[in-house]
Amino acid sequence: MAIQYQENGRIFTLHTDHSTYQMKADSYGNLLHLYYGDRTEGSMEYLLTFGDRGFSPNPYEAGDDRTYSLDALPQEYPYQGSGDFRSPALAVEQADKSYGLNLRYGGYEISKGKYSLPGLPSMYGEGLEDAESLEDAESLKIHLTDQVSGLAVTLLYGVFPGYDIITRAVCVKNEGNGPAALKRVYSACLDFLHGEYDLIQFYGRHAMERNFQRTALCHGAQVIGSRRGTSSHQYNPFLILAGRETTENHGPCYSMSFVYSGAFKAEAETDQYGQTRMSMGLQDEMFSYELKPGEIFFGPEVIMGYSGHGLGTLSRSIHKAMRRSLCRGKYKTIPRPVLINNWEATYFDFTGEKILDIARQAKELGVEMMVLDDGWFGKRDSDCSGLGDWQVNVKKLGGSLGSLVSRINGLGMKFGIWMEPEMVSEDSSLYREHPDWAFAVPGRKPVRGRSQLVLDFSRKEVADYIFDSICRVLDSAHIEYLKWDMNRSIADVYSAAGKMAGGDSPGSILYRYMLGLYDLLERLTKRYPDLLIEGCSGGGGRFDAGMLYYTPQIWCSDNTDAVDRIRIQYGTSFGYPISAVGSHVSAVPNHQTGRITPMKTRGVVAMAGSFGYELNLSAISEEDKNCVREQIDAYHKYWHLIHDGAYYRLTNPFEDREAAAWLFVREDKGEALLNTVALETHGNPLSLYIPLEGLDPEAMYRDEDTGTEYPGAGLMSAGIPIPPRTGEYQAFQVHLRRI
Ligand code: GLA
């Protein structure tokens, strides 16, 4: 059993293959966190120490015992009002406007399989998807109640032993007689009794997402989050707490991934006693969710990972877990078509014939799917109009969508299309008909973003209308792929549906917006089970575990420059599987940076993801065309390694200036693909030696291209030489097979 309950001591133990998580309902009924770390047996209660600590108060029932304080003891789910003055996970404004709350243990349930969350994405265990590789999960619910208000809190835990993953979520039910307003709901909290930690987080901006930042925790909180209604380019909802000495291959590290695509908050704080608290949940600024008697609220899931052996192992656990037990649909396990997208080739300036030309040329080089990006609908020749009017611009395409798609299918290519369903342009028929469907504060002019407004998906009739519009497009032609875009941050959150009057706040509307979006995506994936959906939000502005439940790949960044992409994809790889990373070869000079990189390098970088092209292939040289043919063959050959293999970061592009290197290794270690890109060029260049990882030390490996044979242990200790090179940004791929 992965989940054990020890009656004597009321101790809950959650075991994965290599980790143990433990908590205890103590004699006062408080739920204390005892341990999370390397797998161990037995009770860890001995870790608790008690002392009379000034200004750390004592619960009433502790009587004269001043050594018992929730301000000093590790909490499993801390809440405002308990006398713990660290950052709470739950804050509730009661009917009497107080923040009084006293959550006491009220029982538990253990079950086979993984819990699910109504209306919200979450990891699943066996039985929900029928792929063979699924994990056998177990679930635990712990009930806590507040006698006075009748508020019932249930903590949910899912244990995936083989992935070394534990999930958490929370559910709050109002079983009392008066209303309660939820002011903060975090889904997970981890208290560490001691230790010095670094916080690793992934900050960024549009076209430069998920930069790696590692800083030492100190007294005071480090807080990241998003107020933008989306998970955002600026801070990704993924966090790692690592020991000071932890590296890729050594030392303890803990991660939290939020399975949610809206506004969030995450914190890490070292307190007065040198203890550290890490937590993650919904953004609480402007948040207020009114819970009437009988109503129930679900906080989104947090996926927690632990590795005692460094960041690489942690990432590989997360990759496997998300790939197998979070992503869904037909393309979860089969190769996705190599695509060409016309965006950077044409922007808005295209006709049906031009698209066909791009498709013809691409087909000749081996590309398998044509994706028609923005500009095919309504009045949309720039980004100032047309969103919301999802009717084909027949004049621009020179005919119906159906006829264009049949001609593309006739070439032997699949067809995919771009949409931005959550948005509306003021210059559109939809907006003229339903101005109140867009977020805006009554009597005030809304903030525009990319000249567009956001549709209020918290309203069912709005989401339903858009659902029907999408279905009409998808039913009108043989469409096998949808790029689901979302190109602005959400401001002016105010629902004109009259909900705001009843105590709802912008924060609750944003939460309901996400439920509306998820519901729409769920309906879409049910109705079109074979449709491949790629998420996108100005590139990687909504690159999160929530979207991965509906869209197994996400356009990683609007920045397609190979050198910048090395950094962006490096950062992304910490928390997300390689199969999720939408990555394309584009033209040079690159449209975002002006940089020129070789075609081969662009291919090697884009291949570390779900591969495609985004340029006019007719405009490139014959030599580059041959390179494209080779790249597509290589991608097919290496697909299983890239998508299902174990991923190793061999360098850190934020520190190692000379070259970047990463490696894919088949699970049985029988095959590996090394990728390197030189980042600097110098006179009289040196050879570079790159030590590999994850190979079989006992085995010999052969380079498939040159026939050179290498000992596995030698490759890992002394490395493999990359010969002296001239020319900027040269890339090398070495394919090794065990002999
Ligand atoms: C966003 C996307 C791009 C492209 C444009 C179209 O910026 O990230 O890939 O689809 O929108 O307007």
pLDDT digits (tens, 9 = 90+) for 494-514: 988 876 655 678 889 999 999
Residue 503's pLDDT is: 62
Place of tokens 């040269």: 730
235: confidence class by pLDDT, cuts 50, 70, 90: very high
For a ligand 1 pocket test, name from 340, 344, 373, 560 the mutation site with the most ligand atoms within 8 angstroms of its C-beta: 373
Element holding 587 (H helix, E strand): none
What does DSSP assign to residue 97?
S
- 158 CB under 6 A from ligand 1? no
- 376 CB under 6 A from ligand 1? no
Contact yes or no for 206/538 (Cβ under 8 A): yes
Q: Could you write out the three-class secondary structure of 526-556? A: HHCCCCEEEECECCECCCCHHHHCCCCEEEC
Q: What average pLDDT score do residues 131-153 get?
A: 87
What tokens appear for 4 in the block? 């054990």
* Number of the ligand 1 atom closest to the C-alpha atom of 537: 8
Residue 739's pLDDT is: 97
How close is the Cα of 485 to the center of ligand 1, in Å?
Answer: 7
For a ligand 1 pocket test, name from 208, 339, 374 the mutation site with the most ligand atoms within 8 angstroms of its C-beta: 374
Q: Which amino acid is at 113?
A: G
- 508 CB under 6 A from ligand 1? no
What tokens appear for 736 in the block? 């090794």
- 485 CB under 6 A from ligand 1? yes
Q: Is 721 exposed, middle or buried (0-12, 13-18, 19+ CB in 10 A)?
A: exposed
Contact yes or no for 263/229 (Cβ under 8 A): yes
Could you read off the pLDDT of 248-257 as tens digits, one per residue?
999 999 999 9
- The number of angstroms, rounded, from the C-alpha of 160 to the middle of its chain's C-alpha atoms is 18
Residue 502's pLDDT is: 58
In the chain, % helix, strand, coil (3-state, to 5) comes to: 25, 35, 45
Q: What average pLDDT score do residues 612-623 get?
A: 97
User: How far, in Å, are 102, 296, 634 from residue 148 at the CA level?
Assistant: 8, 18, 65
Could you read off the pLDDT of 254-283 as tens digits, one per residue?
999 999 999 999 999 999 999 999 999 999
Q: What average pLDDT score do residues 201-208 get?
A: 98
The values of phi and psi at residue 334, to 5°, are -110, 155
- 555 CB under 6 A from ligand 1? yes
Q: What average pLDDT score do residues 10-32 get?
A: 98
Q: What average pLDDT score do residues 703-717 get?
A: 97
Residue 723's pLDDT is: 83
Q: What average pLDDT score do residues 129-138 get?
A: 64
CA pair distance 601, 468, nearest whole angstrom:
42
Tell me what the pLDDT averaged over the chain comes to.
96
Contact yes or no for 485/419 (Cβ under 8 A): yes
Residue 127's pLDDT is: 54
Q: What average pLDDT score do residues 353-358 get?
A: 98
How close is the Cα of 368 to the center of ligand 1, in Å?
Answer: 21
- 538 CB under 6 A from ligand 1? yes
Nearest to 242 by CA among 272, 276, 219, 210: 276
Residue 506's pLDDT is: 80
Could you read off the pLDDT of 618-628 as tens digits, one per residue?
999 999 999 99
Q: What average pLDDT score do residues 561-578 get?
A: 98
Could you read off the pLDDT of 691-704 as tens digits, one per residue?
999 999 999 999 99
Contact yes or no for 153/140 (Cβ under 8 A): no
Nearest to 272 by CA among 89, 90, 85, 88: 85
For a ligand 1 pocket test, name from 343, 481, 554 the mutation site with the most ligand atoms within 8 angstroms of its C-beta: 343
Half-sphere exposure for 557 (CA within 13 Å, toward CB): 30
Could you read off the pLDDT of 580-589 as tens digits, one per residue?
999 999 999 9
Query: Which positions are annotated as active-site residues?
Result: 485, 558
Residue 499's pLDDT is: 67
pLDDT > 90: percent of the chain: 95
Residue 129, pLDDT above cutoff 60? no
Could you read off the pLDDT of 657-707 as tens digits, one per residue?
899 999 999 999 999 999 999 999 999 999 999 999 999 999 999 999 999
131: confidence class by pLDDT, cuts 50, 70, 90: very low
CA pair distance 399, 28, nearest whole angstrom:
73
The values of phi and psi at residue 313, to 5°, are -65, -40
Residue 132, pLDDT above cutoff 60? no
pLDDT > 70: percent of the chain: 98
Residue 474, pLDDT above cutoff 60? yes
Torsion of CA 319, 243, 227, 85, to 10 degrees: 130
Could you read off the pLDDT of 38-64 as tens digits, one per residue?
999 999 999 999 999 999 999 999 999
Q: What average pLDDT score do residues 364-371 get?
A: 98
Residue 65, pLDDT above cutoff 70? yes
Q: Which amino acid is at 23?
A: M
Contact yes or no for 379/394 (Cβ under 8 A): no
Lowest model confidence (mean pLDDT) among 127-141, 296-310, 393-407, 535-549: 127-141
